[in-house]
Structure 1
Amino acid sequence: ITGGGEAANIVPAHSAANFMVRAEDNTYLDELKQKVLNCFIGAATASGARLEYRWGKIRYAPMRNNLTLARLFRQNMQSLGRRMQLFNPNSAFGSTDMGNVSQLVPSIHPYVAIAPKDVLIHSPQFAEAAASEAGMRGLVDAAKALAMTVADLVTNSNIATKVKKEFQQQND
């Protein structure tokens, strides 16, 4: 809630809020947006309020991880001494503009451990971990592994072909 209501027992003349709607795919996102809008309309009708809304201009498409690239990146991280689990493409993990990129070109969105498992991203503890020596090591290792992955793609046409083929199949 970004504005409105100074006290619980006073009805404000104006209130405002920002909401985010996320879904695993664009079809369900459209359905979900309508359900959320229906909730807003129902609340406005029930309270006698006037509703004004606008959807944001940016839509984050679902992330499409290229499994071939992900395996190659994991292999490169392991060569640097980092253990890494392969990403589960069926697990939800939030919204990012990288999803939009992944609709156009083969992509990965790897996560590199820089904090204990119980530390949530976007938390003060995570920010602290990101600025720590371990966080910097994670960043450097991830950058090295990404560079190694690009080098593998450039120097091995079989891998590059496999990445492209997988991407084309994802788009069919």
Structure 2
Amino acid sequence: MDTVEKDPSITAILGAPEPIARNITSTVESLSTDLRELSHGIHSIAEVGFEERLSVAFAAEFLRYRGFPVQVGRYGLRTSLRAEAGSGSPKVAVLAEYDALPGVGHGCGHNVICAAAVGAFLGVAGQVEELGGSVVLLGTPAEENGNGKELLARAGAFDDIDAAVMLHPFTGEYEVASFASLAVRDVEVTYHGVAAHASSAPHMGRNALDAVVIAYQGIAALRQHIPATDRLHCLITEGGSAVNVVPHVAGAVVEIRSLDPDGLIDISQKVQDILEGAALMTGTRLETNWDPFPAYLPVRSNQALATRYHAHISARGRAITLETELVGGGWSTDMGNLSLRIPSIHPTVSISSGTTPMHTAEFGQHAISPAGDAAVVDGAVGLALTIADYLADARLREQVKLDFEADGGPVDVQQLLTPPTKK
């Protein structure tokens, strides 16, 4: 766990004028009942990634009713959403997610993310003429199963955005302003062998299932020799259809997680080598499909933005840390890909005092509990006031830029995510 050290120059940052901040807070709080209905409505719809048609329509109508033009289906994704208030730069995006999990529904609480983002947008939009610049609400599909933010970025959705903010629900006694995550990528594996009678002519076969099993064992052995923060998962998806036939096709999916992009690249190459070795040992032919959807990279939290969010959400009476923390043992989000392109934050907001695992039905119930509803309003206020500070204060914008450059500046994500070398 790394400690985020506060830059002394941050103390000179004034942020948005107090009357504007009070108006933003009042606006969001006045919408609390409506935001609750939005959150619960999204929760009840529960559509999976790329299929969030009713969810995005609900959010779009919520905004149109309040006088904001909304574009749905831009950037090649039919369930994306964009609304904008103000004009010109600086321009900050607040990101909404609304996809659910198959069989679990909103067990990751994306209904809270959506409602808080909409609330933050509306809070800032009412004061954006006084603040200057622009605020954009971007609905980003398929965080769970398709890396919608990477697809949107490749299509130019963030080309005019200077900074981005969003939050994510979690459970526990305290929240994290400077969130860290794991990179993750998948590879689909198919081995092609030769079918034969398993009893009368096994010598004429080449066993594709043996190749998968050997690869699985190699990956299991590799787990002992990777950093404690990193993860390897493997699932056999196909292994033959008749016990008396040498399997001529077998398959698996391997998932790789790492705390940093370099680690992801290193482990990916080792996995590729293991897969090729299994093919060589069994006389089978290996076919790999790396990144069937774009890989997710680690979140790089911007210190200056996280510090402002920390101040605003603390004022709401929430216990939050400024330490950079890998929450819940480490999970992954497509916000990481965006955070390597532009300054970003992805803080957590608690929806329960207990510790309930995400991606469960119980977590989903917390997302529509009174604590979940309070998180929507508090989170919306925290995000809105952080956006307002950025728009109003050139010193904060400069500090955000300096922090982003000190962390490595913008990354060419597409070049970084090339498949491993085949030998």
Q: Tell me which residue corresponds to 1:113.
A: 350
- TM-score, structure 1 normalization: 0.83
Aligned twin of 1:159: 396
Q: Which of these residues, 52, 58, 64, is aligned with residue 300 of structure 2? A: 64
Which of 77-86 and 46-55 deviates more? 46-55
Stretch of structure 1 that moved more, 37-46 or 120-129: 37-46
Secondary structure in 2 aligned to 1:58?
Answer: coil
Matches within 5 A, 1:10-25: 12-25=247-260
Equivalent residue of 1:15, what SS?
Answer: strand
Tell me, in whole angstroms, the C-alpha distance in 2 between the residues paired with 1:12 and 1:131: 48
Q: How far, CA to CA, are the matches of 1:133 and 1:115 in structure 2?
A: 9
Q: Which amino acid aligns with 1:111?
A: T
SS of 1:165's partner is helix
Quickly say closer, same or farther: Cα 1:2–1:115, change in 2 above 3 A.
Answer: farther
Q: 1:108 to 1:54 in 2, by over 3 A?
A: same
1:95-140: CA deviation from partner (whole Å, max 9, x where unpaired) = 2221111112111110111134531222222122113221122122
Larger RCO, structure (CA 8 Å, separation 6 or more) = 2
- Aligned twin of 2:76: none
Please tell me the residue identity of whatever aligns with 2:370: E
Greater Rg by CA:
2
* Greater CA drift, 156-165 or 42-51: 42-51
Q: Equivalent pairs: percent with the same residue? A: 34
How many Å separate the matches in 1 of 2:405 and 2:383? 22
1:99 and 2:333 correspond: no
Aligned ranges 1:24-63 → 2 under 5 Å: 24-47=259-282, 49-56=284-291, 57-63=293-299
Once the two structures are overlaid, the 10-residue window that deviates more, 147-156 or 37-46, is: 37-46
Instruction: Say which of 125, 136, 158 aligns to 2:373.
Output: 136
Which segment drifts farther, 83-92 or 160-169?
Answer: 83-92
CA shift at 1:44, angstroms?
A: 4.0
Deviation readout 1:126-167 (Å, 9 max, x if unpaired): 122113221122122112210011111122222222112111
Normalized per residue, the structure richer in helix is 1
Structure 1 counterpart of 2:385, one-letter code: M
Give the residue type in structure 2 aligned to 1:133. Answer: P
- The size of the alignment, in residue pairs, is 172
